[in-house]
Structure 1
Amino acid sequence: MTVRSRIIGCGSYLPSNVLTNEELAKRVDTSDEWIVTRTGIRQRHIAADGEMTSDLAVAAATQAMEHAGVTAADIDMIIVATATPDNTFPATATKVQNRLGVVGFAFDIQAVCSGFVYALTTADMYIRNGQVKTVLIIGAETFSRILDWQDRRTCVLFGDGAGAVVVQAVEGQGTIEDQGILASRLHSDGGKYNLLYVDGGPSSTQTVGHLQMEGKEVFRHAVTNLAGVIREVLADTGLEPADIDWLVPHQANRRILDSTARKFGISEDKVVITVDRHANTSAASIPLALTEAVHDGRIKRGDIVILEAMGGGFTWGASLIRW
């Protein structure tokens, strides 16, 4: 028998404050047409004053646990993927752990937009090594706190939110017919650091800083890197692009989503798209999109699902799952 990591529940949370393109155009030199044409984004959710990343994470986690039918006593480990923690330390995951009443252990992962895939892969390793049985994984971000709201190149792109999944050990036969995570690949390239970064931090400026991005270069690398890592997880399992039932990508830019899908001949109706309503929520974007597609019935048990993302670092990765 082979131990697999199976997602048994999903949850999400979006702040109630919705900022549309039209409203944003009153603050900065932009327009709805300009934003939609270049990104596909029409609106984003913004955390309220005093609403922290941990608050978003707890709300998403609570829904995921309810959906999975588990309690705090069942959770062995919590991983929070975030680039916008409540504090420099301790880990936001420990605050979430305390509020949920979980006794196990908890830590954060920082891989920016790839954070959820990194966290999912890490949880899979713990489960397959027999160290834990049930893991709560959360992607949560308040990117609105690190944006320069006078910079139209960046402030139009991002939003706040959280998504969560509960992953549990199950027995499989060691074949691609097993339910659970079948393959994962992770990559990073620190040489591209200056193309997408935040210009602040405790040991550099002693400030939080603002997000800086070279959009055209990020786009170019994203399409290439994401296509490459999808090929890798397909090759690891012997599956073909035609076997993919659902592509759940990081929701960065509609043009990146479309370009990646075209490279594999994946039709638009097989791509889960939320970027128009959520904008880029970094580590939260994949679990937010996944939760929507699971809860509305699009993703069904037995489906082949690929999750993929690229973020600052650069970091990128993909997971291939039989739902």
Structure 2
Amino acid sequence: MYTPAITGTGVFTPKNVITNAELVEAFNSFADRKNAENAKAIDAGEVEPIQHSSEEFIVKASGIESRYVMDKSGVLNPEIMHPTLRQRSDEEPGIMTEMAVDACDKALQKAGRSAQEVDLVICAASNHERAYPAIAIEIQQALGTNGFGFDMNVACSSATFGIQAAADMVRSGSVRSALVVNPEICSGHLEWRDRDCHFIFGDVATATLIERMEDAKGPHFEIVSTRCATQFSNNIRNNNGFLRRSRPDGLVDRRDMQFMQNGRKVFKEVLPLVSKHISSHMEEESISSRDLKRLWLHQANKTMNDFIGKKVLGREPEPGEQPNILQDYANTSSAGSIIAFSKYSDDLEEGDVGLICSFGAGYSVGSVLVKRHA
């Protein structure tokens, strides 16, 4: 048996930024346009008018101030309100592969490794641009890695579930090193015309290199242990898929084929689930809240993270103990906790212990206990 370690991480950040001010202006223009079209029905009480959004509403509801996206023009066009990404030919690399390769190159560079030294690629993301062939195999070819690759989807927990799968294979000896990559184009499955959720998501890609600790060339994080759990719920869902079910009128432009969430139930049910999961994981490894130097949580909502941090630590987290990147990146699904880890982990000292945790649709929750080795 071998000890797995995280030896490198990488983050691909799109060039386009949408601020809350820009997003609100586009949404309110769309709302005014739709309300004007439905004026008679609204006056007759048959249709509810679309309420305006505001910067204050977005920050209060989420803590988000801006987000990165692969396409900005389509999202901010009141007549389109979704990213306009061109259809690529079968001979071109897919957009997820393009994002993933950038993140993987950065992770490999940080670890002092070449792509040829990698045995496994796991593409773990909440949405995939096609059913098959696997995006991971395309990434494998683009990078020039050896071995094999496969896709995973556990929604916002995809990264931690992918890390557990890779760590288990490294631990058993079936692979020597693995890349877990999370290319998240969340803008493509968000309904930008829905006031309750139009601000939530952004785009990004992260990559984590996991290999035998004995092979590490520099500072690294020993993977002490991992825990994953699932509990079925429909409160966060996306019903899009290969089964093209139509509405009674024959159309397929269904709202439930994009991101849907019952926010109040999610808050009520997910918070205790995640807090208990983390606390149980730490207890099983005889790690107390005093031993924990840092929490890298899923970046979905600031209020949720503040609650979880306080519950796990038994007090308000000190500055730096629970870093947030939500204000700049928004919710990037499975990639969020890895962005936080990548940006806020190099300062930890020898022997310091931290925990990566992601949670979301499923419900699903995954946690990774790590120890710093300088």
TM-score, length basis structure 1: 0.92
Most deviating of 46-55 and 306-315: 46-55
Deviations 1:26-55 (A, max 9, x none): 122311111111110000111133482222
Q: Which amino acid aligns with 2:63?
A: G
Q: Structure 1 residues 179, 187: CA separation in 2 closer, same or farther (over 3 Å shift)?
A: same
Equivalence for 1:228: 276
What SS does the aligned partner of 1:290 have? helix
Distance in 2, Cα, partners of 1:301 & 1:150: 48
Distance in 2, Cα, partners of 1:179 & 1:52: 30
Q: Offset at 1:94? A: 1.0
Contact 1:58/1:100 (8 A) holds in 2: yes
Equivalence for 1:186: 228
| Number of residue equivalences | 313
Q: Offset at 1:300? A: 4.1
Distance in 1, Cα, partners of 2:348 & 2:332: 21
Counterpart among 45, 67, 83 of residue 44 in structure 1: 67
Q: Which amino acid aligns with 1:315?
A: S
**Structure (1 or 2) with the greater strand fraction:** 1
Deviations 1:213-251 (A, max 9, x none): 011111222211111111122112101011111100000
Q: Offset at 1:179? A: 5.4
Q: Structure 1 residues 104, 301: CA separation in 2 closer, same or farther (over 3 Å shift)?
A: farther
Q: Which amino acid aligns with 1:164?
A: A
Matched, 1:285 2:325: no
Equivalence for 1:68: 111
Q: Offset at 1:159? A: 0.6
Aligned residues: CA RMSD: 1.9
What SS does the aligned partner of 1:270 have? coil
Contact 1:43/1:276 (8 A) holds in 2: yes
Q: Which amino acid aligns with 1:158?
A: F
Distance in 1, Cα, partners of 2:98 & 2:297: 25
Contact 1:139/1:287 (8 A) holds in 2: no
Q: Which amino acid aligns with 2:224?
A: L
Contact 1:54/1:86 (8 A) holds in 2: no
Contact 2:117/2:146 (8 A) holds in 1: no
Give matches, 1:95-106, under 5 Å.
Answer: 95-106=138-149
Q: Structure 1 residues 298, 108: CA separation in 2 closer, same or farther (over 3 Å shift)?
A: same
Equivalence for 1:175: none
Contact 1:118/1:317 (8 A) holds in 2: yes
Matched, 1:33 2:56: yes
Deviations 1:92-116 (A, max 9, x none): 1111111101121001110010010
Counterpart among 185, 210, 213 of residue 261 in structure 2: 213
Distance in 1, Cα, partners of 2:119 & 2:330: 32
Q: Offset at 1:171? A: 5.0
Distance in 2, Cα, partners of 1:205 & 1:146: 17
What SS does the aligned partner of 1:27 have? helix
Distance in 2, Cα, partners of 1:33 & 1:170: 46
Distance in 1, Cα, partners of 2:273 & 2:182: 21
Moved over 6 A (4+): none
Deviations 1:191-234 (A, max 9, x none): x1x20001321125387921100111112222111111111221
Equivalence for 1:240: 288
Could you list the runs of 5+ residues in structure 1 that have no partner in the other structure? Answer: 173-177
Structure number with greater Rg is 2
Equivalence for 2:366: 317
Equivalence for 1:201: 241
Q: Structure 1 residues 47, 179: CA separation in 2 closer, same or farther (over 3 Å shift)?
A: closer
Equivalence for 1:81: 124
Identity of aligned pairs, percent?
27
Q: Offset at 1:129? A: 1.0
Q: Structure 1 residues 233, 171: CA separation in 2 closer, same or farther (over 3 Å shift)?
A: farther
Most deviating of 275-284 and 213-222: 213-222
Give matches, 1:227-306, under 5 Å.
Answer: 227-263=275-311, 264=313, 265=315, 266-294=317-345, 297-306=346-355
